[in-house]
Chain A
Amino acid sequence: MECTVELFGTLRQLMKASEVKLKLPPGSSLRDVLSNLVQREARLLGGVVDPKTKALNGPYRFYKEGKGFMDDLGQKVEHGDRFLLMSAAVGG
């Protein structure tokens, strides 16, 4: 199963890519997506991902294309899903 994660802001800087394609076993969840990203770039731990809970820190969130913002990391991922991982709008 393959899904795509588009990266924005500091995430893009840290991972040096604007999107990554992930191959995951069937039945994987958003938590697995996050864990996979952390495996690729350990610096996500701290600023983006809470080292203790392994959840996204406050302003960071997933957005599923065509669906909306998501906070349930237990949400199952389907083949072809496209997620945006971003810090929500910051004012300005």
Chain B
Amino acid sequence: MHSYSGRCLVVDLTTQSTRLEELPESLLSRYVGGVGLGTRLLLEKSTPGAEPLSPDNPVVFASSGLAGTMVPTASKHAVVTKSPLTGLVGDSLSSSHWSLALKRAGYDALVVTGIASSWVSLFIDDDIVHFRKADHLLGKGSSQTEEAIRRETGDNRVRVASIGPGGERLVRYACISNDSNRQAGRTGTGAVMGSKRLKAIAIRGTKPISVWDLDGLQKVCAGLYAKAQSSVTEKYRMLGTPANVLVLNRLSALPTRNFQQASFEGAEDISGEHLAECYLAKVTACATCPIACEHLYRVQDGPYAGLEMMLDYETLFALGPLCGINSVPAILKAAELCDFYGIDTISTGGCIAWAMECFEKGLLTTNDTQGLRLSFGNPDALVEMVERIGKRDGVGDLLAEGTRRASAQMKGGSEHWAIHSKGLELPGYDPRSMKTQALGFAVGLRGGCHNRSPSYEVDMSPGVDRLKAEPGRGLLNKEKEDFAAVLDSLILCKFMRRCFEDFFLEASRLYTLATGINMSPADLRQVGERVNNLKKAFNIREGWTHADDWLPPRMFKDPIPSGEAKGAVLSEAELRMMIDDYYKARGWTAEGLIPPRKLKELKMDDVIELLNG
């Protein structure tokens, strides 16, 4: 076996002890890495029914067979844990140098369990693990933490993943940041790390990574690098994902003012086109990425003059139209604060938008907000609320719980506009005007997510009526989910997907060339289905029910008021039909449960044993 080390490092913070566990080829080849391997380890290492913020909930960092090799965009890792936001599987990806360091230190996975008696950081120096006091790092953002740890270790090559003040305060959608500006952003992995009093994980990885067929891999990768720098990925380099703003706006799919509208009159002001013309400072990339989709923007004047920040579409939508904001400087400032506090930008925007609607409907007043006029479109309120969430200050403490919990506490009908699925705030695609994506959001295994269920691609395909729910969408959504699970387990950036002529043929070959493990296209295809069934199995074990696969009331009651999709709304009957269709496509029962024969068919006997045990 090449590339893989076959080693999992298990760290128990309670006893401050470590041990190595073997990851056999049979397990690695079936779950591959990333989200697949991470979820498999989570299922094995966690106590059924454990509270997400308890010592019994491990946080798993999983590398992959392609990480650390020359395969473009493979410098990634997954973080998997039981989410404090959803109570179900929480998986999130990040990238760049920390991902490489984990692999070069000689580990395919790192599992952290228990809880430290006081704040600590880990320093994984290849085979040696140091537990270090971390009280002096509290209150620091990820960049400051990274700088401090590098200073202390005297080595600028040490890579650091850390939580910010939001994670320390257990904001339920806190993230884990690495390399200063990369985040495992969604589902609250940073809160789990915070609950363990683990501020940071620093790694110095110096070991070589071997591949099975260097010449063969080089040849295939040369082609991929060329493709990844061609016109196929040009759109990512030129405008980046903010190019979505005007497209989705025109299609009435840009969630605006907490999904009250689906188009935004200020869209031009925050569009990728406008950003490129007036704010772009630099285009940059993750480690080993030839695509370079990251756009760094600079504020030239005003109160935030000099501020530089990267933005992708999701951050832009969530801190922009979702809150009715068309001020680019304010959005950049809010994004910077999210990074400092280490909180997910989508959930942060979702929570603030929910609170703005509460304010406008009188459920929150200036008495509750310490005088802050929390109205849609108020850029100062946006920036201030990010601070308060990060500090859990005043109403920020309520919003730090996420919209599901906040609305259950607020009541007054605010559940109607708590826009989440399974507790995870929805990303920037309006499900009323993208009905396959509506299904994807409803059944999403980590909650409503466009990355795990990227069915907007179906809705934006010729021959598909995005405004209609039709039989067959279940299978289409399943295929999108399984493909995403393969990418998230290999791990490859999703922006690479168009660089392959025949993805499963070429990617399975890449895997074999790197690891020496035989993987056929059919095997790789099955990995996607296996990983999604694994995540589902975890969710079922943790109490998922049929009723969890659903969408917020607004999607059924409030038609889109204007624009290209004026009048579009989702009916409960059509969502139910699509969900039934999806369960059937998956080979699940009518209640959405996995029959044991399905797990056997997917060669998941180990999972059956774990579930029975």
Residues of A within 8 A of B (CB): 6, 8-10, 12-13, 46-48, 57-59, 61, 63, 65-66, 68-72, 84, 86-92
Contact = CB atoms under 8 A, between A and B. Distances in A.
B247 A46 contact: no
A91 B457 CA distance: 9
Interface string B453-469: 01011001111111000
Contact of A68 (B232, B241, B312, B466): B466
Contacts of A84: 247, 250-251
A58 to B, nearest CB: 6
A79 B157 CA distance: 63
Contact of A69 (B232, B239, B428, B464): B464
Interface string B250-275: 11000000000000000000001100
B247 A86 contact: yes
A9 B495 CA distance: 17
A89 B457 contact: yes
A8 B231 contact: no
Given A59-B498, A70-B462, A8 B234 contact: no
A10 B464 contact: no
B575 interface: no
B235 interface: yes
B235 A87 contact: yes
A89 B253 CA distance: 11
B314 interface: yes
B314 A9 contact: no
- Which has the most chain B C-beta neighbours within 10 Å: A57, A66, A68, A71? A68
B500 to A, nearest CB: 12
Interface of B: 231-232, 234-236, 238-244, 246-248, 250-251, 272-273, 276, 312-314, 428-429, 450-451, 454, 456-457, 460-466, 494-495, 498, 564
Contacts of A68: 462, 464-466
Given A68-B465, A89-B429, A90-B243, A10 B314 contact: no
Nearest to B450: A91
Given A59-B235, A91-B494, A8 B251 contact: no
Nearest to A66: B564
Nearest to A62: B462
A46 B276 CA distance: 22
B291 to A, nearest CB: 11
Q: Which 7 A-B pairs have the closest CB atoms?
A: A92-B241, A92-B313, A71-B462, A47-B231, A9-B243, A88-B460, A92-B312
A34 to B, nearest CB: 15
A6 to B, nearest CB: 7
A39 to B, nearest CB: 20
A6 B250 contact: yes
Contact of B239 (A9, A46, A48, A89): A9
A91 B231 CA distance: 17
Contacts of B314: 92
23 contacts: A6-B250, A8-B246, A8-B247, A9-B243, A9-B246, A9-B247, A10-B235, A13-B239, A13-B276, A47-B231, A47-B234, A58-B232, A65-B564, A69-B464, A72-B462, A84-B250, A88-B460, A89-B247, A89-B248, A90-B243, A91-B450, A91-B454, A92-B314
Contacts of B450: 91
Given A61-B460, A72-B462, 7 more contacts: A8-B247, A9-B273, A48-B231, A88-B457, A91-B313, A92-B240, A92-B428
A90 B313 contact: yes
A72 B234 CA distance: 24
Given A6-B250, A46-B231, A91 B451 contact: yes
B531 to A, nearest CB: 19
A69 B498 CA distance: 19
A13 B564 CA distance: 24
Nearest to A48: B231
Contacts of A10: 234-235, 238-239, 243
Contacts of B244: 89-90, 92
Nearest to A10: B238
Nearest to B273: A12
B452 to A, nearest CB: 12
Nearest to A68: B465
A91 B243 CA distance: 10
A4 to B, nearest CB: 13
Contacts of B250: 6, 8, 84, 86
- Which has the most chain B C-beta neighbours within 10 Å: A9, A69, A88, A89? A89
B463 A57 contact: no
